Structure 1
């Protein structure tokens, strides 16, 4: 599979090799992703929805994100781990932004952080990069705030919107980001941004002209009840898991599980000794109980006589 993927590796793929990225939030899944040969495992704030059951990505906290990040980082050997900066972890102050980015590196053992936003967060990206932490940008649809404004709409459908997206992309590159996610951006705008920037673009619902692609694992594997139009489902694990659980339930109810092949046994001689010991212990308990009952009766008679 080769050596560990680094920032330099990702930047070197621009125009040469497509970048493969996927989300993961736990050790077991991240291990599978790493062994499958993905380049980037994104510990996405999408965990808010697919792991914690929130209606959007907005509510998830730094502490929750760090738990997921630590688990993923323990699993990877090859892939680069990028951690999503959750809502309010960098919007309040520069001190918060730097502190939280550093926590992902120091505590979460991530390789980089992802910052959602365009020109308005150029100074945040610059500060984090100046602190020595690689940053992946994220423009287009911004899930952290989309529900507060116009919803989950395709970006770049008209000239003014497209121009703004291009300016955002240029600003994030100038800030020092090593790559940038384009979410739900029209093909034409994504192609223009990808050709204009020297850093890789990673698309999610933004067409094939991007330098790489990222998908939410639960969407592509059919584990989440809703998936966007741009997602290709590579499996329907929900149905497979439900079928397996139904079979397990039926086996337990009908005493088919556990079978002999799942059962451990004592040595025959040890079992005979255990039975003899058990008989002796039962006899001792019975004798003790009889004595206690007899003693209780005698005390009762003495009380009545008094």
Structure 2
């Protein structure tokens, strides 16, 4: 086996087996392979091997927490089961789910949106995760990394520091209990098998405000105002005053914070991808919300 290929033959689950591997699309901090056994031994295996890349420590990824939280999501009934974890090889082996990844446009279907909200709610009602996630802490850590290493930031990013702190204080004024969150539920991390929706990729998972989870999907999938309202209603069933404002503010947090992820990756990742453009797109979303006519009202409603 060539040295530039993942050493799948070192996995215990594949010991003595013959298999076929096929690259899976997606994955900006890892390479994903679908591995299916070709021999006649039982059981036949259909797996996904997630191979992490070097440098993930700059992004604050805890691979042990990823494994533990993937297992917890499986217990909650919304994630694939963990088969093997080889931290020394940078490999996490999970069961393959025969399902189709959603796209941003998928959420225009009210039925899909409702089932996605149900899956998120099941995750949040499941076992607690290992570790916590707070975007204000993560944003500060990412910003410190960028400064320490001399990475580039777009003009104007730090001019929103005061407004960012106002968002933090508004959300902290009426804190919510934390729940187990994926924290990175872009459309491709929802898998639809036609009967239910699965949630995958727990690299950034941790216990967090449920509204961040919802707001992150709003931001990543480009929800309209009407979709955002429907999303909040589908999740909460009977939204309370402040729920919508809180989700919208957390969508700002997602965009402003995760944009730094893109700027770090633009400087450090070996993957050929326009990380700078990815980060700029999210920074622009945050700028629009910071400068929106209803920004002050959102702060007031979220803090009430």
TM range (shorter): under 0.3
- When normalised by structure 1's length, the TM-score is 0.23
Please identify the structure whose Cα radius of gyration is greater: 1
- When normalised by structure 2's length, the TM-score is 0.23
